[in-house]
Amino acid sequence: MPSDARRKYLEYHAITRCKVYRIRRVEGPKPPHGDPASALPLIPFGTANDTETFMSKARRVLLIDDNADAAESLAQLLALSGHDARTAGDGVRGIRMAQEFHPEVVFCDLGLPGMNGYEVARELRSLPFGRDIVLAALTGFGQPSDREKTAKAGFDAHLVKPVDPSVIESFLDDYA
């Protein structure tokens, strides 16, 4: 349970089908029915340009990340935008899921247990449908040498965590 100070000011970001909202927890009494989200006002985020409608074509998206919370959170945000998003916690499961699911887009962490993200990219590219996948590294590794390695491994893009959800949505619009 977070401290009182932290509880008073937590920000959550969510994407709906039409607009980006910043949801800010406000000070005050707890809601009577115990659902903290019911006490959160929806505040449009930023300027009018930030709240423009963006609905990309629905995509099949695979998220391969050993941080289950991060992967599931992003999958839920993508689902809110109409995408069919699935998660895998390691490279071997990710490849197996890709063979069953045939994703259009794969976001893959590089620092995976067992088979790392570079190996996953090479393996995905070797599959019959692998050349058609848009493959993006979604990682905490952001050095120029990391970007060179991802390009050599077959990634189409390199995104450094934390990535704003609107960047993910723009990426899906532009590259997928």
How many domains does the chain divide into?
A: 2
Main-chain phi, psi angles of 158, to 5 degrees: -135, 110
Q: What is the CATH number of the domain that holds 164?
A: 3.40.50.2300
- In the structure, what pLDDT confidence band is assigned to residue 176 with cuts at 50, 70 and 90? low
Question: Do both 149 and 125 map to the same domain?
Answer: yes
Question: Do both 43 and 127 map to the same domain?
Answer: no
Whole-model pTM: value is: 0.69
CA 113 to chain centroid: 19
What is the distance between the alpha carbons of residues 72 and 135, in angstroms, rounded to a whole number? Answer: 18
Q: Is 23 within 8 Å of 12 (Cβ atoms)?
A: yes
Which residue's entry shows tokens 């704003």?
164
> To the nearest whole number, what is the mean pLDDT of the chain?
76
Most confident of 29-33, 103-107, 150-154: 103-107
What pLDDT was estimated at residue 56?
58
Question: Do both 19 and 105 map to the same domain?
Answer: no
Q: What is the tens place of the pLDDT at every residue in 4-63?
A: 433 333 333 333 233 333 333 344 444 444 544 444 444 333 333 443 444 558 899 999
Domain that holds residue 126: 60-175
What is the distance between the alpha carbons of residues 111 and 97, in angstroms, rounded to a whole number? Answer: 19
CA 100 to chain centroid: 21
Q: What percent of the chain has pLDDT over 90?
A: 53
CA 174 to chain centroid: 16
Question: Do both 107 and 46 map to the same domain?
Answer: no
CB atoms near residue 124 (< 10 Å): 26
Question: Do both 146 and 129 map to the same domain?
Answer: yes
Question: Do both 86 and 123 map to the same domain?
Answer: yes
